Amino acid sequence: MGFQHQFPATSLREYDIRGIVGQTLHPTDAFAIGRTFGSLIRRNGGSTAAVGYDGRLSSPELEAFLVDGLKASGIEVLRVGRGPTPMLYFAATTLKVDGSVMVTGSHNPPNYNGFKMMLAGKPFFGAQIQELGRLSAAGDVVEEASGSDRPVDVAHDYVARLISDWDGGDRILNVVWDSGNSAAGEVLTRLVSSLPGEHTVLNGEIDGNFPAHHPDPTVAKNLEQLIAAVAEKKADLGIAFDGDADRIGVVDNKGQILWGDQLLIVLARDVLREHQGATIISDVKASQVLFDEIERAGGKALMWKTGHSLIKAKMAETKSPLAAEMSGHVFFADRWYGFDDALYAAVRLLGIVARMDGPLSDVKDALPTAISTPELRFDCDDERKFEVIKEVAARLEKKGAQVSAIDGVRVRTSDGWWLLRASNTQAVLVARAEGLSEEGLERLKAELVEQLEASGLQAPDFSGESGGH
């Protein structure tokens, strides 16, 4: 009997494969990914792959089974070992391998894990992931072969490359870092020891139980420890990472959070000094303030779909030097490789702050204010969530509303805008609204609630859910 393996439908996501360990994700799934993805590499004319893994408790076993699957397809596997996802991307890019796989659960709870892939230097996502599932179920793989594996230490070269783009001025910065027990670990320790300034690292030890707090810097409560430390140390800023360190969170010297779109404004103004007229990309969840500020700084603002693979592909297509998502993914193609890397984004941000005349809070406080809800997530069955979006879009079309359907539905009115989209990583719908006034925001929220209820869903509790942004 040859190889055949069926994945749970819920684990084959838009831009990665992900599941709950022991329920929808097992070592046999990891082997099957290796066996099938390895076959795709071979059929694409390749023979090598780089593999890395994050700090989750299940990652070492999943990595071992993944490597066995790749080897069974005749692949030479370069094992980068434990570290942040962007270090694996760096290895894949600089070692010029034919494919790469990162074992990571990203920012999800400790019992989740998953796989992010690249094929021939490009993100492997969407229809490609569905095709991998079909090939695996059909046993449509290359004949079994004997590949090989060997460890490759890229951490030194990666940190050296990060440091090489430091471009700060004479100002000595005081920085607090919250590694969040993430996979940044030893890499972050090496990085801060090489950067000028005073650095304090919180939760620096890699621990897949995430004892300090959940590893998601886009949720305000996960930044409370960092904000307190910034105040205590009288620091210039604080930087946090998610579980695999491809997403960044930032707080200024006053402890104010710079959300993903506000951070992109700071980074974009700097990049546009040398790249006037360049396209700067963000996702549909970003504030209208961001798109307006990019245009004001001489850039061309492009709104695109949420998802790290989708943004990377759009950047390559438009030759954009910089993009970022509300979720904290930041992508530099200016002097970097175009992939999302929170450590690199941190180095570039520190350079900007070190060249500023005043504190980072001056920039934050000078931004135009809109009043917005935070990102609201509420449970909706994995299959039902996409149907809801279609229903809402159809009703809005009948009403003649001003709708962007790039990713879900984003509706613009004279009051501002609201968004409803299906998460690609969880069984949830995501909603957000941004108004020009409190009254306008209330009207936007009421419209959103009306649409959800028309599809038979109980709307999330919006009460008190607004703030300057």
Residue located via tokens 């709307």? 459
The pLDDT value given to residue 14: 83
Distance between CA atoms of 219 and 124, rounded to whole angstroms? 28
- 393 φ/ψ sector (left φ>0, alpha ψ -120 to 50, else beta): alpha
The token duo for 344 is: 């690199």
Contact assessment for residue 5 and residue 32, using Cβ atoms and an 8 Å cutoff:
yes
CATH fold of 157-366: Alpha-D-Glucose-1,6-Bisphosphate; Chain A, domain 3 (3.40.120)
The token duo for 332 is: 């530099």
293: amino acid identity, one letter: E
Distance between CA atoms of 326 and 132, rounded to whole angstroms? 29
Question: One fold for both 9-153 and 371-468?
Answer: no
106 an active-site residue?
yes
The pLDDT value given to residue 464: 53
Query: Tens digit of pLDDT for each residue in 402-454?
Result: 999 999 999 999 999 999 999 877 789 999 999 999 999 999 999 999 999 99
The pTM of this model reads 0.93
Residue 316 C-alpha from the chain's centroid: 17
The pLDDT value given to residue 462: 65
> Architecture of 371-468 per CATH?
2-Layer Sandwich (3.30)
Neighbours of 128 (CB within 10 A): 17
Task: Point out the residues of the chain with pLDDT beneath 50.
Answer: 1, 468
The pLDDT value given to residue 427: 85
Residue 21 C-alpha from the chain's centroid: 21
Distance between CA atoms of 133 and 274, rounded to whole angstroms? 44
Cβ neighbours for 317, distance < 8 A, ≥ 6 positions apart:
none
CA–CA distance from 78 to each of 97, 120, 179, 357, 435 (Å)? 9, 15, 26, 45, 50
Q: What are phi and psi of 60, to 5 degrees?
A: -60, -45
Classified as helix, coil or strand, 261 is helix
Rg of the chain in Å (alpha carbons) = 22
Q: What are phi and psi of 323, to 5 degrees?
A: -150, 160
> What sections of 10-52 are H helices per DSSP?
27-43
Q: Which of 39, 106, 287, 372 is catalytic?
A: 106
Domain-by-domain residue ranges, the chain?
A: 9-153, 157-366, 371-468
The pLDDT value given to residue 463: 58
Question: Regarding the domain with residue range 9-153, which homologous superfamily does it belong to in the CATH classification?
Answer: Alpha-D-Glucose-1,6-Bisphosphate, subunit A, domain 3 (3.40.120.10)
Cβ neighbours for 76, distance < 8 A, ≥ 6 positions apart:
47, 48, 49, 147, 148, 149, 150
The pLDDT value given to residue 467: 52
The full length of the chain comes to 469
Distance between CA atoms of 239 and 433, rounded to whole angstroms? 26
